[in-house]
Amino acid sequence: MDRSSFNRSAYLYLLPALAIYGIFVLFPILQTIYYSLTDWNGLTAPTFLGLQNYLNLFQDAVFINALLNNLAFIFFYSVLAIVLGMFFAVLLTSAPLRGMTFYRAGLFFPQVMASVVIGMVWRWIYHPQYGALNQVLRAVGLGAWARPWLGDFDWALTAVGIVGTWAQYGFCMVLFLAGIQNISSALYDAARIDGAGMFQQFWYITLPGLRNQLLVALISTLIAAIRIFDLVFVTTRGGPGYATLVAGMYLYRNAFVINRVGYAAAIAVLLTILILIISYFILRLQRTQEEESFA
Amino acid sequence: MGFANPAVNARRILGSIPTYLILTIGLLLAVIPFLLIFITALKSPAELGNAFALPQQFHWENFQRAWTQARFGTYFKSSLIVTLSVVGISCLLSLLTGYAFGQLRFPLKNSIFLLFLIGLMVPTEAYIIPLYYSLRAVHLTDTYWALILPQIGMSVCFGSFWMRGFFSGIPRDLVDASRVDGCNDWQTFWHVMIPMVLPGLWTMAVLFFIWTWNDFLLALVMITREGLRTLPLGLAMFQGRYTTDYTLTAAGATIVALPTLLFYVLFQRQFIRGVTAGAIKG
């Protein structure tokens, strides 16, 4: 690149975006890392602790429990949502259907709604007295099953998790739909001629053809499960007890309720590292696969 | 193909019935929760006993109460100001960075681009704690700025990445041709490039809209004054206060949901394309 062709005005175009991003996002990230190494209550000067906050976190039973709850949410957000999304995507493309775009739009809809609204909608469904769920159970003679779902120690996590699945699977479905439509129909025709059944077609053609979409669905649902906060805040605030307490909720409590700011910063750093590692590995998986397919 | 034979056709239609049935069940499961809250918003408190029953008469005044008494009108104004500012400014800045990254050559280009990619990956949790204390120190918490500026900071990361793709896809010949025709940089940008990146711009604007309109964490941390609350924050805090005024809460939830629903019906394609494209964002 010879120097005369450099376009110095480029910096001018980048400057406003870079300044806002730098001041309000990038620099605070560095501060988070610094605070995570200190004991700070948000008022007096922070005292340097080294890695003590991190060591404490791994011995903090509440935090470990919160991480395990995040793990449970991974089952609802990623595993269940991807399986259901795949089921509907295959169903939608199994035959030329009228109204396909209509169904797609309807099933995708929860994904665009604010999680606060979704939380409110489901609080209402789970309401002990007026909620639709308990009313249906009573109506079909399963009244013994009726319970205050979100206040029940054994069921609260599952109840919130199902909301997560409900909100995520439409998104997975839309990703897979786009992928399936890109798979050449000649592949299926050839497989049918060779006598492959529905399941074999799915296993040998659809699934491998959707690898990229599966990876994207995996990244975004995993990140959503690790970050989950809004939904828990609105439905249970982490309760009853610590039954639905997740890492994001624990971070919020430490940072803004009980003012253990340094400790909260350490949680933030751990969550961020976790998210970056997951993104990195899955993106790398995607890349190796692309290289293979070009080879 | 096939339509000459009625027997084959009939079998195909019959065969697709189970598919439609399952799809319809899925669709109902997706929509009914929203319908239930909307019905509740139209009821009187005495009618809450059956969640599925329609009210005797529609109590539209619940919406009026939510709008004025529960201050959802004020929250709506906050959400509108914040969302319009973020979407407008972020789109403009992303056009500039997208143009620079996609069309121009300059030193440190890749390093600066990588810097933006970091912002694409990190969650709000990574920066919100120090940001709150810094903004409080300069008296910017409890202002719209505390919501607008960080949201723009996050949005331009995605915007740079997204618009770069569209700008670098513009054929070189087209740009050169407009130069030959005597267009200056600005005219080339405005009359040749912008029309070509417009589809990408719409998708991005829709994404910025949902991210900002739905944001909860930033608002929860930055805003304590009731008059500045956005809709999601107002709804979450409101339910804490009037826990037993169910019809009012339901009306509030409907008010928060309605603009998104309206937008979704109008721009469904952009939504679906946008959300799946923005999936990698943390």
Structural domain harbouring B34? 6-59
Binned at pLDDT 50, 70 and 90, residue B133 comes out as very high
Residue of B nearest to A115 (CA): B214
Nearest by CB: A21 against B30, B51, B119: B119
Q: Domain A62-294 is in which class?
A: mainly alpha
Residue at B230 is within a domain: yes
What does the mean pLDDT of chain A come to?
89
- Are B237 and B166 part of one and the same domain? yes
- Are B167 and B31 part of one and the same domain? no
Question: Which of these three, B40, B59, B78, is where a domain ends?
Answer: B59
B175, pLDDT greater than 50: yes
Reading the block at residue B99, the tokens are 């143009």
Please state whether beta strands A47-48 and A38-39 pair in parallel, antiparallel, or not at all (unpaired): antiparallel
Residue at B140 is within a domain: yes
- Are B13 and B87 part of one and the same domain? no
- Are B198 and B219 part of one and the same domain? yes
Residue of A nearest to B126 (CA): A268
Contact between B205 and B130 (Cβ < 8 Å): no
| Selected residue with higher pLDDT from A103 and B5 | A103
- Are B151 and B171 part of one and the same domain? yes
A60, pLDDT greater than 90: yes
What does the mean pLDDT of chain B come to?
87
Task: Name chain B contacts of A18, Cβ cutoff 8 Å.
Answer: 97, 112, 115
ipTM, two decimals: 0.88
- Are B75 and B33 part of one and the same domain? no
Residue at B64 is within a domain: no
- Are B179 and B264 part of one and the same domain? yes
- Are B157 and B204 part of one and the same domain? yes
Residue at B65 is within a domain: no
R_g over Cα of chain A: 24
- Tally of domains within chain B: 2
A238, pLDDT greater than 70: yes
- Are B179 and B244 part of one and the same domain? yes
Binned at pLDDT 50, 70 and 90, residue A197 comes out as confident
A293, pLDDT greater than 90: no
A39 beta partners: A47
Helix axes B17-41, B6-15, angle to 10 degrees: 40
Chain B, window 249-268: residues with a beta carbon less than 8 angstroms from a chain A beta carbon: 249-250, 253, 256-257, 260, 264, 268
At B27-69, the pLDDT tens digits run: 899 999 999 999 998 888 877 878 787 888 888 988 998 898 8
Q: Do A120 and B30 touch (CB under 8 A)?
A: no
- Are B94 and B195 part of one and the same domain? yes
- Are B52 and B75 part of one and the same domain? no
Task: Name chain A contacts of B157, Cβ cutoff 8 Å.
Answer: 21, 25
Residue at B128 is within a domain: yes
Residue at B1 is within a domain: no
Binned at pLDDT 50, 70 and 90, residue A292 comes out as low
Chain B, window 117-176: residues with a beta carbon less than 8 angstroms from a chain A beta carbon: 118-119, 121-123, 125-134, 149-150, 152-154, 156-157, 159-160
Nearest by CB: A130 against B23, B51, B116: B51
DSSP string, A15-75: HHHHHHHIIIIIHHHHHHHHHTTEE--SSS--EE-TTHHHHHHTT-HHHHHHHHHHHHHHI
- Are B90 and B204 part of one and the same domain? yes
